[in-house]
Structures are given as C-alpha cells and as structure tokens.
Structure 1
Amino acid sequence: MAAFNLTPSDPSTFILMGIPGLEAAHIWISIPFATFYIIGLLENVMLLYVVSKEQTLHKPMYLLLCMLALTDIATSTTITPKTLCIFWFNLKSISVGGCLTQTFFLPTVSVMHSAVLVTMAFDRYVAICNPLRYTTLLTNGRIAKLGLLCLIKAVLFILPMPLLLNRLPFCSNHVIPHTFCVPIAVAQMSCGDITLHRTYRLVIMFVVSVLDLSLIALSYGLIIRAVLRISSKEAHQKALKTCTAHICVMLTYYTPGLFVNLTHQFGQGIAPHIHIILANLYLLIPPMLNPIIYGVKSKELRDKLGKYTYKM
C-alpha cells in the first residue's frame, strides 16, 4: 500500500519506482548498468565512425551492421538515462507523454532490430548461395531501401499501441513498478478495458517473432543445403565462417529475449525485481556484445577499428 502514497497529484505524471524492494541497492545496481551502457554506446559510435570513414567498408554487410548499431544505440538510450536518473537522483516522475513515447520507441526499435537481423540473414544467403549475383542483387542502394522498409514496418506495427494506451482512462494510482514504461504495466494502471490493447500486443509479438524467425530459419536452411552440396571441406568452413558472427548476434538477441518473455508470462514465482533486472540487462548487454562479435569475426573490420584505435 505504500506505493499509493507516492501517487502524484498531477494526473499528467507517472511515477517509475525503479526496482521495488531493492531501493537501498540502487546505487550499486547503477554501476554495471551505466558501465554496460557507456561501453555499448562507445563501441557502436566507433563502429559507425569507422565504417563512414573507410570507403572499403561501404559494402552491404557493413551497412547492415551500421543499421544494427543504430538500433542498439536507440534501444539502450531509450531507457538507460531515465533509469540512471531514478537510481542516482531519485527522479522518479515521468510525464504521460514521455511514458507513451517510451512505449512507442522501445517496441519500434525492437521490431526494427529483428527486421535488420532478417535482412542480414538474406544477405548471407545471397553471399553463399548466389555469390556471382551478390554485387548486382544487393547494392548499397537496395540495402538502404530495405532499411527504410524495416523502419516503416516497425512504425506501422507499433504505432497503434501508444494510441490505444492514450485513449485509456487512468486510475488514481500512477505508480509503475519498473525502471521504464513497459506497455503492459502502463495499460494495467487503467480503469478501462485493456482487452484490445493486450490482444493487439500479443498478436504483434507473435506475428513479428514467428515471421522473422521463420524467414531467418528459411535462409539458413537454404544456406545449409547449399553448403552440403559443396565437396571441399575448406569451402564448407569458409561458407560457415561468414555466418558465424550473424548467428552469434541472433543468439544474443533472441535467446535472452525469449527467456525474459517466458519468465514474464509464466514465471509468477520469480521475484519482481528479478524480472526488472533481466529486462534491463536484455536491453543493455546485446548492444555491448554485437560490435565485439563482429570485430572478432571480421578481420577487415577488426583491422580498420585497430587503425583508428591506435590513432587515438
């Protein structure tokens, strides 16, 4: 009941509680959160800078990697600054407009991220199954158009969610037990019927996840079939090596995402603060790991990054 004492008198303001039950440890928890965020931000900005400066990296694979870096920056930046303000300065209030903005941008970037991974899987399919047509099928212009289509898809899919939330009447309790505005948590504060919002959210999650994962599985199924037809073991290894980085990035994104969603849906016995910490780490760790994975797996990128690092 203590949470209701924190209810703001201003109906246009919500209260983000941070991690309920661990308020005394907020400062300590903020240290890894801030560290992961800063490292991920610096890595992705450095990657964008190097690719923009090096003409030899102006290739479809690296342009897709830049799109992935932009979604990673947007993902962590959407939640982390406000989370750190809660932890460091106890600034828990957020306007309804700001909250609805979070409920729009975070899922939009997530859908965009998934769509970029699908496009990267298609890129690997063309590179291995149709290498002679790679330069004609996947030009930089077409990659840019695919990126724009990914963005349009994400916006069109997610835009109805904050619009539905904005139409809901909110109760006197404006307290959100989280570090950021989770759409379902915002909806649950409403005095109205949230069935439509809940149904639309589940449909979008199912459609996006199933569609994107099916397209990725199809791409890699065709890649495996093509690789198995190659008699040379060296060719096998070279073909699979080109996919390793992308597979690792997919595992760091989809695996923890699936775990977080499953624990949220079915892990009622798990303490709420565990859910909140996992949700934050899911949005912070992949953006930090992705540039490292591609830097390790791609010698060309690693050499260019090393050149600029030494200059600094």
Structure 2
Amino acid sequence: MTPITCYTSMSAVFLLTGLPGQEDVHLWISVPFCLMYAISILGNSLILFIVKTDSSLHEPMYIFLSMLAITDLALSIATIPTILGIYLFNSREISLDACFAQLFFIHSLQCIESSLLLLMAFDRFIAIREPLRYASILNLPRTAKMGLAFVLRGVAIILPLPFLLRRFQYCRANVLSHSYCLHQEVMKMACSDIRINNIYGLFTTLLTMGLDSMLIFLSYVMIIKTVLSVVSHTECLRALNTCVSHLCAVLLFYTPEIGLLSVIHRFGKGSYPLLQSLLGYMSLLLPSLMNPIVYSMKSKHLREEHFCN
C-alpha cells in the first residue's frame, strides 16, 4: 500500500475549482461574474458616497447601512482575484499563505455582516417600540461603539483559524471544491488530527451566525408583537414597511447558507457538486450584489432624493 505523501505548509499549494463539468465554457461564465462584481462595487460605493455627502442621512439606520456596504465591498475585493483568475485566466494555484489570508477575510467579513444585520434588526425594533426615545437610545457615538464592537468580535473569533491550520502538514491531493478558500475545506486536506479545528469551527458558527440569526428572529417577534398592538391599520402597515429592506437583506444572507447546508445534509458532501458550487457562490456574492438594489428601492431618502433627481 502506497503511503500518503504529506508536506509542510511552507511548500503546500492548493488547486481551486470552478463550476464542475463546465471547464470548456469558463470564459463565458466569467461574463456574469464580471457584471456581478461591477454592479456590487458600483452600488455599494454609491451608497457610501450618498450617506457621506448627505448630512440628513447621518442617523443609525444609514450608518449601519454604510458599514454593511463597506463589508460587502471588502468581501468582493477578497474573492475577485481567485474567482475571476480561474474563469478568465485558468489560474487555479494558490499558495497556503494566500489561502489562509483569503479564508480569514471571507469568514470574518461574513461574521461582521451577520452582526450588522443583527444591529439593523435592533435599530428597527427601537424605532418601532420606542419612537420618541429612538434618537437618545441610538445616538451616533453609541451607534459607532456598537458597530466597532461587533467588527472586533468578528475579527477576534476568526483570527485563530489561520494559525490553527498552519500547524498541519497537507497531503498532495489538495484540490478544493470552490474558487476560493474556506476553513472547513482546507482543514480536511490536512494529514493531521483536525478535531480541534472541527470543534472551534462549530463554536465560531454557533457564536456568530447561529446566535445572530436567533436574536434577529426574536427581534422580529417583538416587532410584530408591538405592531399588532397598534390600533391604526395604516400605522401598522407603515411600521412594517420600514422593515422590508432589512428582511430582504436577512433572507439574501441566510437563505443560500441554509440551502447549502440542507443539500449537504440531504444528499451528502460529494453529491450534486454543481448545485453546491452555485449555492456557495450565491451565499458569497448575492448579498453584496442585491443589498444596494434592495435598499435603494425601498429607502425613500436614497430613492427620491438621489436616484431620481
């Protein structure tokens, strides 16, 4: 029996993968990816410019939206080199250090985005539950501190992952199933015991996206309870309408993740690789693409004062 050949992180190279079975049309596939990146970067940059230049938008809701736009921009920048490198230039190799850096940014930015969606849910809850005290509860200094605290939380929780991965030796069959690096895939390439990484990876998921999604759900339970106590039907609808954009952003962020987990759980990791790749791209790229569109369509200030003038 031939022994498995392993080598250290100093000499390891991973091979990234595009859409399985679609290698002959990679150049054509690059066109929609380029369009998505262009729309995402333009849309999020425009939101940042509008919020910065219009002092009437310097309030918690739009501060959180600006932070969400920065996160989406950073996530696009973190994934552009490898995704477009594969489809435009068939560049599949990525060094271990570059892979570790990319997975750190991807996971930390996704954690930060989840935290920002939770903060935006809290913002909507305060605006509906305590409209008269909204400005005093969510003043700008407090908003900035909350945002910074959640950014630091995302970075601190994900920071150990590259160091945990760097301890391992890696086998030569280092073919990843995506066009970018993820912790759960890279650790399975190791020739070593990965139980600590498995436990810590589960811990980070439960502490960030798991906890955030539960608190977002509880926030909307309280919002619905508050709205149902409103006597006026018109005021009830008006209050719910302020949450539509945020609900769309939550669905765009969590639905592909839930769909991907459901497919893996139902059919197994190796089944339907094309569907799993598509869901992976959706979870990574769809929020940054659609969030500017959703908020510009539903926000009266962004739409009427800037996009229509």
TM normalised by structure 2 equals 0.92
Aligned counterpart, 2:167: 167
Q: Is the 8 A contact 1:20 1:178 kept in 2?
A: no
Distance in 1 between the 2:76 and 2:265 partners?
23
Report if the CA contact (8 A) 1:295-1:302 is conserved: yes
Report the counterpart of residue 120 of structure 1 in structure 2. 120
Question: Secondary structure of the residue that 2:18 maps to in structure 1?
Answer: coil
Runs of 4+ residues deviating >4 angstroms: none
In structure 1, the gaps of 5 or more residues are 1-6
Q: Which residue of 2 aligns with 1:67?
A: 67
Which amino acid letter does the alignment assign opposite residue 117 of structure 1? Answer: L
Contact 1:30-1:84 within 8 A present in 2 as well: yes
What corresponds to 1:279 in structure 2? 280
Structure 2 equivalent of residue 105 of structure 1:
105
Contact kept, 8 Å, 2:64 with 2:116, in 1: the verdict is yes
> Is the 1:47–1:305 Cα contact (8 Å) retained in structure 2?
no
Alpha-carbon separation, structure 2, partners of 1:220 and 1:178: 34
| 1:124-169 alpha-carbon deviations (Å, 9 max, x no partner) | 1110101111111111111111111111110121112111111111
Q: How big is the shift at 1:265?
A: 4.0
Matching residue of 1:247: 247
Q: Distance in 1 between matches of 2:72 and 2:138?
A: 23
Shift of 1:267: 2.8
Q: Which residue of 1 aligns with 2:217?
A: 217
Pair 1:31-2:31 in alignment:
yes
Distance 2:156 2:195 in 1: 20
Q: Which runs of 5+ in 2 are unaligned?
A: 1-6
C-alpha displacement at 1:112, in angstroms? 0.3
The residue aligned with 1:22 is 22
What are the within-5 Å matches in structure 2 for residues 103-252 of structure 1? 103-252=103-252
| Equivalent position of 1:44 in the other structure | 44
Q: Which is worse superposed, 201-210 or 95-104?
A: 201-210
Q: Which amino acid aligns with 1:290?
A: N
2:294 maps to which residue? 293
- Whether the aligned pair in 2 keeps the contact of 1:50 and 1:304 (CA below 8 Å) is no
Q: 2-side partners of 1:267 and 1:69: how far apart?
A: 35
Describe the SS at the equivalent of 2:292. helix
Q: Matched residues in 1 for 2:303 and 2:134: separation?
A: 23
Pairwise mapping of residues 263-274 of structure 1 onto structure 2 (< 5 A)?
Answer: 263-268=263-268, 270-274=271-275
Is the partner of 1:132 in helix, strand or coil?
Answer: coil
Matches of 2:219 and 2:278 in 1, distance apart? 34
CA distance in structure 2 between the partners assigned to 1:53 and 1:266 by the alignment:
49
Q: Assess, with a 3 A threshold, how the Cα gap between structure 1 residues 305 and 284 changes in structure 2: closer, same or farther.
A: farther
The one-letter code of the counterpart of 1:171 is C
CA distance, structure 2, for counterparts of residue 13 and residue 302 of structure 1: 47
1:76 corresponds in structure 2 to 76
Q: Deviations over 1:175-220 (max 9, x none)?
A: 3232111212211111101111112112221232331122112211
2:303 match:
302
Partner of 1:4 in structure 2?
Answer: none
What is the CA–CA distance in structure 2 between the aligned matches of 1:280 and 1:225, rounded to whole Å?
A: 36
Alpha-carbon distance in 2 for matches of 1:185, 1:250: 25
Q: Distance in 2 between matches of 1:20 and 1:246?
A: 34
C-alpha displacement of 1:114: 0.5
Structure 1 residue 281 displacement after superposition: 2.4
Q: Which amino acid aligns with 2:276?
A: H
TM-score, normalised via structure 1 length = 0.91
1:244-293, Cα deviation, whole Å (9 max, x unpaired): 11111111111112112222344326322321222112211221111111
Q: Is 1:55 matched with 2:39? A: no
The number of equivalent residue pairs is: 300
% identity of equivalent residues: 39
* Whole-angstrom CA distance in 2 between matches of 1:99 and 1:265: 26
Distance 1:181 1:18 in 2: 12
What amino acid is aligned across from residue 290 of structure 2 in structure 1?
L
Q: Which residue identity does 2:90 align to in structure 1?
A: N
For 2:130, give the aligned amino acid.
N
CA contact (8 A) 1:33 1:284 kept: no
Whether the aligned pair in 2 keeps the contact of 1:227 and 1:239 (CA below 8 Å) is yes
- Secondary structure of residue in 2 paired with 1:131: coil
Q: Is the 8 A contact 1:260 1:279 kept in 2?
A: yes
